[in-house]
Chains A and B, each alone.
Chain A
């Protein structure tokens, strides 16, 4: 019998404010331990939290970006538990009244193969909507350092009070691949709207996965929560391991107990942290030190005005206005950097700044898309670069595409220009000039060249005229060779056809 895997994710995105959520201490990563721990961070007697508006603004941005409800009034609550890196003995979070509720993300799940290879599925992807239950603001804890203290534990409170947005999904995902696609989409989105740097190594984007299994159509099974997955690979491995383990347990007649588990990346296994019975009673209650968070319609509108065009909207525009395929549009909007680069190339290469449907702008858009998805991506990949590290600028690339469009250079010439640009810089016209890559488009010159070839190859011309059409390629080759590859191919074809016809 079949099993269905049910997954919900809780993602902690560290918000990119320069100061902490309830104090003015810096949030910069990597400082000496406790150098960014002010009186509030170490919870001295008598200190009080003051909410950072920047954190709220980022939460609103997120809510608007996923079409969610922005609560006009939400409440900060205290989550009480003792731990050495939790200085107040409680975490300030939001409980029954979160700032963001009821949104959704559309994700594209590769139809076949592993999610780790982007080429899989040859551009085919299934669209799926994952509902977002809520997103709430909270503060991060500090860090316990268990090494280097001779059996004691060191406490670093630099991270204590760093703002987090916890984004909770509905249990809408049915495979590790879907979970990864959703996590990646979120990861793209939070960076796209500039609320989180997305640095997973530094813990700026961490996932908890709630996993359960059931027979199709049955009620939800008992879930286990895998904590603190800080890479997409671990997320996928952990879910797959956990789901297999649950299925085996059930098939062997066992029962699943609600529990929190940790993933051990070295062994590729999940292991029990605590069961529901051992779970804390957090004794949530509204934090009397903070007023309810009120967000006016005006504030919401101001934040909305600050939002960039979102990936989904861009995709629709690329398809409808620029005539790109849905697949190309989704690749070009995989990151803000890619989309920005593409649009800058378009501006640099287009005859008009905003291309209109069906016109020359559409051709320019297709050309730009092809180059970005093709040569540029491949070269970035070969050199191990991110888009942001691309050695050529959109203006450089645009200047080259312009020369392709106006037939100054051929495709093979363009590849040469591109290679030179990538390695040594320079603008297209200078490179074309220096390397002599300009096509011959002077019809007089081409005709003279063709006349010479016809005169010198009378026998082949006769064969051709007698019906050996295949010889056409032979004449093209000769002509190209004679022009040192610079003849405009289309023009050459026209002239050859006309003259060979006699």
Chain B
């Protein structure tokens, strides 16, 4: 059951071989057993989850089931969900109960899915290892000394450990794809504007995008069908026809042109990851794809550009957390200024404060042109590189992350080393393109530990999610990396 695809689960539910309540309870039991160690979930509410499951069972009984009716889905704690504590894994919001649903949550509710719980993440999605969470680190289910990646580390670990049927994530610079790669699962960041940002706590508004995290491309397609859609409450939400992202899954890949950017295979890429990615490309050639060498010359600037723009937006987005109306307020203060200073000093963690300071600096009088405006110009150049590349190829492939999962605490003292783990994912956010990561084997064994998962990144042109899912699915038909499961969580109950 825990390895069943969403389609299979849906069939089991429809055939009354299992109820949503039973399925939900099974996951809650697994969470009770494994989560104290993994810390993938930070908020559970079995009463609310089971109530949704009962409603789903009624819908199924009445023959009103949709694709996700009764399926337990883990929600990243960045999505506001009515009645649920919604914290963004910050002390600032540790006691915030959301009075409303994010659009993504509404979409799942409408589809009859069960909210299984809120998953751990880096504080305000700022991090690549899930180590900045106020609620403690998440352990990688493949190796409990290793990070799960971030910021959607809790969701990735929950999917990998079979603590949910599927999960949601958000991706500002790689926060879906990098943890998906490090935990050996599949994750998709759609084109900017495909999923509404309404109710998704903002980190960097021009980059943030929600997306699904699951075990297979086929599951991702079903999840995206539910998550995507125009929402008039988000001015950057795109007004497009709804599409079936699963429509092209079965298409053969004959003649597919895969672009390999030379910059993604240069210095800094660890050899075990390179080997796994090369092997995956070889597999694609067997499926009839052709390889094209391309270049993304400005992509080397994506990390500095990102660390100007994202903190700039974040410094402003996080100003609302001021202790005045909700969230954390320092217990003692002499006056208004002290109330602000103490509440924010005590309510935010170190990485969040670092980015607020960087963002405040680059927007300051006298620095704006040199940093913010310059970064915006380079951002356009980066997008142009991709436009140029997509004239020569249909999809771009490369590694998702330069290494497999690193150890907990390994990069804690060096933020720049941490930032570099997103070197292959950030440019995609800057360009607003869709990108995904799928499991493509394992890296080298290390200190007696077996090799950790490697992610293959697939980048598509704008609105090409259906084709990317097709490309991923065809690979998953001939490989079984996505079906591998960490040994220690393999206890079917």
Contacts and interface: CB of A to CB of B under 8 A. Distances in A.
Nearest to A89: B319
B235 interface: yes
A288 B200 CA distance: 15
B205 A288 contact: yes
B233 A89 contact: no
Nearest to A84: B324
A478 interface: no
B86 to A, nearest CB: 7
A155 interface: yes
Contact of B316 (A46, A49, A90): A90
A105 to B, nearest CB: 32
A281 B368 CA distance: 11
Given A89-B316, A89-B320, A285 B235 contact: no
Interface residues of B, number: 44
A49 B237 CA distance: 12
B199 A46 contact: yes
B320 A87 contact: yes
Interface in A45-77: 45-51
Contact of B363 (A45, A283, A288): A283
B206 A90 contact: no
Interface string B68-92: 0000000000011000001010000
A151 to B, nearest CB: 11
A290 B390 CA distance: 28
Nearest to A281: B365
Contacts of B197: 46, 48
A431 to B, nearest CB: 59
Contact of B364 (A89, A283, A291): A283
B201 A285 contact: no
Contacts of A39: 99-100
Contacts of A285: 312-313, 316, 363, 368, 372
Given A45-B88, A50-B235, A291-B236, A84 B320 contact: no
Contacts of A47: 198-199, 233
Contacts of A80: 315-316, 319, 363
A44 B480 CA distance: 44
Interface in A284-314: 284-285, 288-291
Contacts of B202: 45-46, 289
A82 B86 contact: no
A138 B313 CA distance: 19
Contact of A45 (B86, B204, B336): B86
B200 A43 contact: no
Nearest to A280: B365
Given A80-B319, A82-B322, A48 B234 contact: yes
Contacts of B372: 285
Contacts of B205: 288-289
B119 interface: no
B232 to A, nearest CB: 7
B43 to A, nearest CB: 15
B430 to A, nearest CB: 13
- Identify whether the interface residues of A are mostly helix, strand, loop, or mixed: loop
B135 to A, nearest CB: 17
B100 to A, nearest CB: 6
Contacts of B319: 80, 82, 88-90
Given A45-B88, A46-B201, A291 B360 contact: no
Given A45-B201, A82-B319, A50 B232 contact: yes
A44 B80 CA distance: 10
A84 B340 CA distance: 10
B320 A45 contact: yes
A42 interface: yes
Contacts of A84: 322, 324, 336
A88 B320 CA distance: 4
Contacts of B96: 45
A291 B239 CA distance: 13
Contact of A46 (B200, B206, B321): B200
A43 B202 CA distance: 12
B235 A289 contact: yes
A301 B316 CA distance: 37
A80 B199 CA distance: 22
B195 interface: no
Nearest to A155: B324
A227 interface: no
A281 B364 contact: yes
Interface in A90-112: 90
A12 interface: no
Given A82-B340, A90-B319, A288-B205, A49 B99 contact: no
B100 A44 contact: yes
B102 interface: yes
A48 B233 contact: yes
A78 interface: yes
Contacts of A78: 316
A44 B99 contact: yes
A35 to B, nearest CB: 15
A19 to B, nearest CB: 14
B325 interface: yes
Interface in A15-50: 39, 42-50
B214 to A, nearest CB: 23
Given A39-B99, A80-B319, A46 B324 contact: no
Interface in B322-343: 322, 324-326, 336, 340
B73 to A, nearest CB: 18
B116 interface: no
B180 interface: no
A90 B318 CA distance: 10
A45 B201 CA distance: 5
Interface in A420-434: none
A153 to B, nearest CB: 8
A46 B198 CA distance: 6
A153 B336 CA distance: 10
B294 interface: no
Contacts of A82: 319, 322, 340
B93 interface: yes
Interface string B359-371: 0100111001000
Interface string B300-317: 000000000000110110
Contacts of B98: 44-46
A43 B363 contact: no
A281 B367 CA distance: 11
A153 B313 CA distance: 30
B235 A87 contact: no
B235 A51 contact: yes
A50 B326 CA distance: 23
A153 B335 CA distance: 11
Interface string A389-431: 0000000000000000000000000000000000000000000
B235 A49 contact: yes
Interface string B157-190: 0000000000000000000000000000000000
A48 B234 CA distance: 6
Given A39-B100, A89-B322, A288 B198 contact: no
Given A50-B235, A285-B368, A87 B325 contact: yes
B314 to A, nearest CB: 11
A79 to B, nearest CB: 10
Contacts of A155: 324-325
A44 B200 CA distance: 11
Contacts of B235: 48-51, 289-291
Interface in A314-345: none
Given A49-B235, A50-B234, A281-B365, 12 more contacts: A39-B100, A43-B320, A44-B98, A46-B80, A46-B197, A46-B199, A46-B202, A48-B233, A82-B319, A87-B324, A89-B319, A289-B235
6 contacts: A45-B320, A49-B235, A80-B315, A84-B322, A283-B316, A288-B206
Interface of A: 39, 42-51, 78, 80, 82, 84, 87-90, 153, 155, 281, 283-285, 288-291
Q: Which 3 A-B pairs have the closest CB atoms?
A: A89-B319, A283-B363, A288-B206
